[in-house]
Homo-oligomer: A and B are copies of this chain.
């Protein structure tokens, strides 16, 4: 019994399993439909008459194909085409500019190096000062505790004593906090002033400013964490319980120079009296990470000198004339280079360097980032690409604000404002150009988070792909190259061949 093929979707999708079809004579004669018995394999002698077309089939790329074909080959092709097109650009660059790498062509002056080194090695003294402040605070806490424990037990009396003690604690905290603030701010202020007015080379300036900022954040964390540990010590009845992890080093036993030094070098910005630790240092692991770090740094430097630098110089004319189409073309060309440097830099810093530090310090929590490249919302990005900073912001800024009644949205805005100021310090100060672009970029994240939230994890696959594409476009394909061109242009207007034009 033959059955007709309905060339609509439903039947076509059953194909090609059953040869149930209407085999009609191509001439106009009608004939009985073919049977469903399987075709006998023809003998060799009838090769020329073998039935090639036996059953109905659908083209693989048809919308009514029974299975969607794999596109494994096209993924390989995309990677190959990227390599090929960039190889071509490298050949073109080499023909235009020759070999630009020159070890002695840097503009790093001796003064910059000396001042930079002095600042770099003096900044840790602020940690020592912070330690001393905490030592004093710990002593004061211990005597408070002694006084608390010798008071007679009378409810009213104890209660009023507690209120008085709380007040004393607060007043003491303000004094401690003030001391810490002066110490920490001096650190940042001195570095900032020196870099802005006395260190010309932006790379050295950025390294110094980064070191100062990290130290500032660590001092803040040290101060805030110890405050809460001190409070837990003095008022255990108000205490919900500190993590069990800390039991091996209860406050104030953690206020030691060794403990602080560990925190100084540990790959984290949040202070804990105790951290999860590994048992040994793997030598090959350290060597590999160090090799990656050095190798990638060299590669990034080479790419910037050979490819980014001529491109940025070429863009200046267009920036000056505000020739938008040409600027767009330059941005798109720069985006490949900046993306490559970004990815290498991310791996070098967050994977190689931090893991190297963690291995040497036997620091066990290596989750410095998660798979940020898969994010489909800006919110996911900021919580996954730089976990040390995210942990700091959450623990010392966002959560305390929310805990004190600030709305999550306002707390988020304040956190990004804080982050914006830090970014402006790290970029605007070394380039001697506080144009506010970095700050604006950070504040701009807040509305951007709102826009992209609908594309989050619970959305359909198509939404997630769209969100992910939007992330790459705004951050890496347009955002970073435009920022680079803006700062480069400002630098050139100030110090370079575009000065006073």
Binding site for B on A (CB under 8 A): 4-8, 16, 19, 21-29, 31-35, 37-62, 69-82, 84-85, 87-88, 91-92, 95, 221, 224-225, 227-229, 231-232, 238-249, 253-254, 256, 258-259, 262-263, 268, 270, 272-282, 285, 325-326, 328-329, 332-333, 335-336, 339, 347, 350-351, 354-355, 359, 363-375, 391, 395-396, 399-400, 403, 465, 468-469, 472-473, 476-477
CB nearest to A72 among chain B residues: B374
**A74–B465 Cα gap in the complex (Å)?**
11
Q: Are B51 and A246 in contact (CB under 8 A)?
A: yes
Query: Of B42, B229, B339, which is within 8 A of A241 by CB?
Result: B42
Q: Cβ of A258: which chain B residues have Cβ within 8 Å of it? A: 26-28
**A61–B354 Cα gap in the complex (Å)?**
13
Q: Are A373 and B21 in contact (CB under 8 A)?
A: no
Q: Cβ of A268: which chain B residues have Cβ within 8 Å of it? A: 52-53
Known contacts A47-B399, A364-B5, A468-B76; is-contact A54 B276 (Cβ 8 Å): yes
Query: Of B57, B256, B371, which is within 8 A of A69 by CB?
Result: B371
Q: Are A47 and B242 in contact (CB under 8 A)?
A: no
Q: Are B26 and A74 in contact (CB under 8 A)?
A: no
Known contacts A248-B31, A355-B62; is-contact A48 B396 (Cβ 8 Å): yes
Q: List 5 A-B contacts (CB under 8 A).
A: A25-B249, A39-B244, A45-B239, A48-B225, A91-B325
Among all A-B residue pairs, the 10 with the closest Cβ atoms? A43-B240, A73-B373, A56-B364, A88-B332, A26-B262, A51-B243, A48-B224, A49-B228, A44-B403, A57-B367
Q: Are A371 and B73 in contact (CB under 8 A)?
A: yes
Known contacts A27-B258, A27-B259; is-contact A365 B53 (Cβ 8 Å): yes
**A465–B74 Cα gap in the complex (Å)?**
11
Q: Are A329 and B231 in contact (CB under 8 A)?
A: no
Q: Are A465 and B25 in contact (CB under 8 A)?
A: no
Q: Are B225 and A49 in contact (CB under 8 A)?
A: yes
Q: Are A25 and B274 in contact (CB under 8 A)?
A: yes
Q: Are B88 and A26 in contact (CB under 8 A)?
A: no
Q: Are A24 and B248 in contact (CB under 8 A)?
A: yes
Q: Are B259 and A26 in contact (CB under 8 A)?
A: yes
Known contacts A26-B259, A61-B347, A332-B84; is-contact A70 B371 (Cβ 8 Å): yes
Known contacts A26-B249, A364-B5, A371-B60; is-contact A92 B329 (Cβ 8 Å): yes
